[in-house]
Chains A and B, each alone.
Chain A
């Protein structure tokens, strides 16, 4: 299973990066979204996989009983998801603003002051 998730994460990184290299603003942002999902999946998988055992203490117990999924990467990823969302929303609106002002979504054209 790790093999499959490693490939999935690699695909997310590769496609995200490829889209970030494109010239359209919208593609840049989609790429950013893929890349951040890939990074989250990377952290999650690297922390080790455990099936269906959420790190939640049962009602009748006072501590977690093994096996349970490692809560530390989960906490990291949870933060990263939310931050990633904030960044994505911000860059989306930024791109929208640039597009409105420059009248084009071609990054090269915006850079050369055209539009």
Chain B
């Protein structure tokens, strides 16, 4: 049941494509399935809480030990609920956002493909299966970022995201291989169930670095964060779903998942905490500098991802709880803000924050959703964001003050960005073209649902206690005290929360001058990426013409010189085998050989085309005679007729190639002659000594015995061709037929050419 349900979004792709392209109302119905999945995973979470993780698998690639095996525990179900739940809202929103535009069906179909991949990612048991889904999410993300593929910047961003996350994906694959090498297990259930720790095993540092490369690229951690703001060329529903709520959290999931068996070492903790903290600051700093609404939200997502990463690195009970509560809170408020941003752009045609204002009357529902989401993002009491921030501060109290100060600064900047994105477009004097009609419910309801969820979960913290507690227990491998409450009394943490709010108010008031003063404008990592890309382009532009000169002569020279050098090197290093026993020489056979040699040499020296053709024919007849003398009458017959035919055709065509004088300077000819002599010589030597190492007649004996009883033929060569190896002969006939078609077509072209010219 579980595997089928995980993969069910894939099964719905055709339906999504078909329904999505029809009317808005029908497309909205598609949201019912992810909604049902949300309910299912929610219920499963309850049963997992009682009876422990669930495993289920379908046989797939059994020969390489990879099945469609899934593992559902608190952590994976928490993610699955988010993926399916927000997925349902996005499908609904998307049906309205795209209306009946062309491409609506393609959008819904790709969205379902992503949903299936993301569910697979968070529920996969086998590490290699996880890798496959990981790459599939990257691929569907590529398709969705480049959704408006007519725009060059959309294509460039899509490629950039694919390259950066694909690099991490390779890291994940390598890490999976190393994990399997060092533990013998590739299934998460056994890695977790056995309570193994890789830290004592081989390859540990390499595994950590590779795993974290995957997690950091996917979750847009500094210095790989630049792809995420660029990915905002995607349609807004995609940004809300993939690039804020789900896919970018795959790195968080991976780190959380691997913590029990790879964590708790200074390398792990240090890397994750450090990179997470830097990302948190960089993202928040850049967020308030942006004027593009979506890029601002993207940078704040980068910051939030860094924050969660840092908390997982800190790794105490409080910190892990904080990360998971934050994950929920962020999915709700950022999803809502993105959806509102999409609605704003959809209705007013702009998403430049300086050009939007006073829209609260024109779109009251969107304004309400945005305000609620901004409050949660700023961490106002009663909202889930407040709970997350309290836990964040509390878990950092015992750590070096720099982390705490960084967290406070990032929270203040994030809160400011939240207010700028969620409040400033709706207050003040009206700016930007207000829509004349009512904003359709499909564009506001999903945002309202998410925004209210953030408030509801803040007021009733019990609703997130179960999943967050279960998931933290899964990460820490011990039962966790998951009780959350809004009010802890007058503690230092409360003071810090209030100080942060004051800071948010201050920064928001001075937001315009803050934006101007942000420095530096960007980090070098994107420039490094671009420079690498250009460098590779330049390298291939330099190397390709040298390696691929499109000149037959240089290819031939390289090939033949290589072959000749290898043959001679083998002969020199291995030594010549013993002198072969050779047959005596009969005069008539010698004559045939002389014909071959004389013909070949005269073909080279020929001054006219006719004499060259005749020389080729003479040489060919010599070969045919040789066949005849050594027991191959069939070959001789064929060779005679082919030579004759060739000569006739040549004479007909070579009428046009009358001149045969040499065009190349003598140096070229000398070089060609030298290589040719060496090549011919090495062939002769090899052929001579091959005779000394003849394999016995095994195949010949088989055919000799079986020719009559099995194939009912007395001519063994014929029997081989038309019976034992009949398929080869059919291939040969096909080649000949193709050549005949080609000849016919070419003749036609040149005849037309001649008529025109």
Residues of chain A having any CB pair with chain B under 8 Å = 1-28, 30, 33-34, 37-38, 40-42, 44-46, 48-59, 62-64, 68-72, 74-75, 77-79, 81-90, 92-97, 99-101, 105-108, 111
Contacts and interface: CB of A to CB of B under 8 A. Distances in A.
B739 A100 contact: no
Given A1-B586, A51-B631, A21 B743 contact: no
7 contacts: A2-B583, A11-B596, A11-B684, A12-B680, A26-B654, A96-B656, A97-B746
Given A26-B612, A63-B707, A82-B732, A93 B743 contact: yes
A16 B600 CA distance: 8
Given A41-B623, A49-B583, A19 B687 contact: no
Given A34-B600, A100-B753, A93 B742 contact: yes
B694 A33 contact: no
Contact of A33 (B553, B560, B616, B622): B616
Contact of B750 (A27, A97, A111): A97
Interface residues of B, number: 105
Contact of B619 (A37, A62, A82, A107): A37
B691 A34 contact: no
A87 B746 contact: no
Contacts of A40: 623
Interface in B425-441: none
B512 interface: no
Contacts of B631: 50-55, 68-69
10 cross-chain pairs, A with B, having the tightest CB-CB distances, nearest first: A14-B680, A10-B684, A69-B631, A86-B739, A64-B704, A18-B676, A21-B672, A26-B657, A10-B680, A55-B716
B603 A82 contact: no
B707 A64 contact: yes
B638 A46 contact: no
Interface string B576-592: 00001011111001100
B656 A99 contact: yes
Nearest to B603: A30
B452 to A, nearest CB: 70
Contacts of B110: none
Contacts of A30: 603, 612-613, 616
Contacts of A12: 596, 600, 619, 623, 680
A67 to B, nearest CB: 9
Contacts of B629: 51-52
A72 B600 CA distance: 27
A18 B669 CA distance: 8
A37 to B, nearest CB: 5
At the interface, is chain B mostly helix, strand, loop or mixed?
helix
B664 interface: yes
A50 B630 contact: yes
A85 B694 CA distance: 29
Interface of B: 550-553, 556-557, 560, 580, 582-586, 589-590, 593, 596-597, 600-601, 603-604, 609, 612-613, 616, 619-620, 622-623, 626-627, 629-635, 638-639, 642, 645-646, 649-650, 653-654, 656-657, 659-660, 662-664, 668, 672-673, 675-677, 679-685, 687-688, 690-691, 694, 697, 699-700, 703-705, 707-709, 714-717, 720-721, 725, 728-729, 732, 735-736, 739-740, 742-743, 746-747, 749-750, 753-754, 757
A9 B687 contact: yes
B653 A63 contact: no
Given A10-B680, A10-B681, A63-B704, A37 B601 contact: no
A84 to B, nearest CB: 8
Given A15-B604, A18-B672, A86-B739, A37 B623 contact: yes
A115 to B, nearest CB: 12
A64 B612 CA distance: 42
B589 to A, nearest CB: 6
Contacts of B715: 55-57
A63 B703 CA distance: 10
A109 B742 CA distance: 25
A92 B649 contact: yes
A4 B590 contact: yes
B717 A71 contact: yes
Contact of A48 (B609, B649, B691): B691
Contacts of A27: 612, 660
A51 to B, nearest CB: 6
Contacts of A11: 596-597, 600-601, 680, 684
B664 A34 contact: no
Given A11-B596, A63-B708, A83-B735, A38 B683 contact: yes
B634 A41 contact: no
Contacts of B660: 24, 26-27
A54 to B, nearest CB: 5
Contacts of B676: 14-15, 17-18, 21
Contact of A93 (B619, B635, B747): B747
Nearest to A19: B604
Contacts of A64: 704-705, 707, 716
B657 A99 contact: yes
A9 to B, nearest CB: 6
Given A15-B600, A45-B691, A55 B732 contact: no
Contacts of B632: 44, 54, 69, 74, 77
